Chain A
Amino acid sequence: MSSHSEALNAAPAREIAASFPALSARRLLVIGGVALILIGMLWGDIFAVFVLHQNASRINADLLAATNAVAIHDPASVPPHFMAIGGFLENRGTKVDAHVHMIDFGYLALLLALVQPFVAFSESAKRKLAALLLLGAALLPVGVFLIHYVGLIYSPLESIGWASIFADLGGFFVLLVAAIELFGLWKYWQRPADAKSSDALLADRSWASRMLLTWGTLLVLVGFFHGSYYAGTQLFANEASDVALLTQMTSGSRDVGPRAVQDYALLQGQKAVNVAAHSHIIEFGMLAILMAFFQPYVFLSERWKKIWVATLLAGSVILPVFVLLELRFGLFAGGIADIGGLLVIIALTGMLAGVVRYTGTLDAPAGGAPMGAER
């Protein structure tokens, strides 16, 4: 017997393997959840590089045009510029929404994977719920992304297009599954104590798991501290500046107005990087905490596990820190921030590969394929 199969047959490893059977709801949710997070992050990187800055420039151009319309006393040409700004904001908003929802649904899938042993339904029912959740989790962001492009084409409704309808359907699926899973958890808690099972997965105390839990919590703490600091020291001042600059744009002065538009763009940039740094560091902290639970399913050597944990944590710090530094160092810092995002994607892909290897190793003996030693 190989050292690997001996390790798999050891008591704790056997219990962990038993909690991850082929085609189980937990397996679907873990692999589907990590895949959703990966796609959502990739989409976020593409959006940041190719859409975000260009979109901001167009918004500023229309704001400047509206300011110039005030200066030449032409009220009729103001509303079309604000309509255009509304369109750009919708374009930006739907892309951010698709990115955020896909990642958050990935987190939800991982959270549900974690509680599967405590959901009092049959495995078949749990599998169907997992599939419905993943369908809804894919449908909503894709639908939201298409809203800007599909509009009201062939829509049976006056103000809601097909893309919105499918997005809402996806959201309904997710909501429905979450409610049913909650009911399943409630049913489990009603069981007598001796009928409740334990989950070997939660007993893991490995280095990788401990580091991800500790640093994940610290990342959330830092993100929370940064958000509190920003809210306490800059939020009110920024809101006052926002109104002051918009008021200057309506002054009708040909000198003050355009300068106010420039300052307004800088202010929006300052707000955006602070919000992005705050939200990304917290999201990465949550990701680290969630991935800590699934380290026993990552079938890689301890060395490679440590490499992916360190890469994930390094990327989780680099992205938000360099997003903040964009204000001082511009695109150079933005490029490093994108590399930070890429590091998180690479680390997560490495962990997903480990999980897929684990499933192959578990399933291979049943199919007669030889078991390879972990590398």
Chain B
Amino acid sequence: MTRSGRFLVIGGLLLAVWGMTYGLYYAVFVEHQTLDSIGGSLTNAFVHAAEQAPQASQAAMQAYASANYNYVRQVDAHGHWIGIGLLLIVLGIAFSRVGFSEAMRMRLAAALLAGAILFPLGVLLETVNAGSIPKGVAILGSALVIAALGGISLGFSKNQPST
């Protein structure tokens, strides 16, 4: 296996293990409470509205919106870390077939791994900061992943790798 391929396999393994660990922590300590909060707040919003208590209904709806916003991003970050981690492992095994020089392959692997870390991190940071920095981190991460995948698919389309 080439150095760049090994870099991707190890990076992918670490990312997948990190994603799973984060998911396990979230499932055990946060998810059930969040799901209860989503379902409970929405029901309360309707019940209070039927009781003609608009302020209580509005507050419950806000609680629903906030819990749902956080839940979607937490699950997205967890799922994308694991998913992209597995993609990195599979691509790493085949990386010798990318028909570029090893230096170029290393650049592609580094860009892909950086993007794979940054994109879900940016999504997760959106739950603690609603500003533009987390969005910028997520956009930078996804741009790196897209650019690296474009380069890798071009490399795969070449028949013989130039090592």
Using a CB–CB distance below 8 Å, which chain A residues touch chain B?
A: 66-67, 69-70, 73-75, 78-79, 82, 86, 107, 111, 114-115, 182, 202, 205, 210, 213-215, 217-218, 220-221, 224-225, 227-228, 231-232, 239, 242-243, 246-247, 249-252, 282, 286, 289-290, 292-293
Contacts and interface: CB of A to CB of B under 8 A. Distances in A.
Given A82-B43, A214-B156, A202 B93 contact: yes
The prevalent SS among residues of B at the interface is helix
B89 interface: yes
A220 B13 CA distance: 19
Interface string B41-61: 011011111111000011001
B156 A217 contact: yes
Contact of A232 (B58, B96, B139, B153): B139
B91 interface: yes
Which 4 pairs from chain A and chain B are nearest by CB?
Answer: A250-B49, A75-B50, A217-B153, A221-B149
B61 A246 contact: yes
B138 A70 contact: no
B51 A239 contact: no
B51 A224 contact: no
B157 A82 contact: no
Nearest to A257: B49
Contacts of B64: 243, 246
Interface residues of B, number: 45
A302 to B, nearest CB: 15
B61 A286 contact: no
Contacts of B132: none
B117 interface: no
B137 interface: no
Given A242-B65, A282-B83, 13 more contacts: A75-B47, A111-B86, A202-B94, A202-B96, A205-B160, A220-B87, A220-B149, A221-B149, A225-B146, A228-B142, A231-B138, A246-B45, A252-B49
B78 interface: no
A86 B69 CA distance: 19
Contacts of A293: 93-94
A289 B95 CA distance: 12
Contact of B153 (A79, A182, A214, A286): A214
Contacts of B65: 239, 242-243
Contacts of A252: 49-50, 52
A205 B97 contact: yes
B97 A221 contact: no
30 contacts: A69-B46, A70-B46, A73-B51, A73-B52, A75-B47, A78-B46, A79-B43, A107-B86, A111-B86, A202-B93, A205-B97, A210-B157, A210-B159, A213-B94, A217-B152, A217-B153, A217-B156, A220-B87, A224-B149, A225-B146, A228-B142, A232-B139, A250-B48, A250-B61, A252-B50, A286-B86, A286-B90, A289-B87, A289-B90, A293-B94
Nearest to A240: B65
A111 B87 CA distance: 10
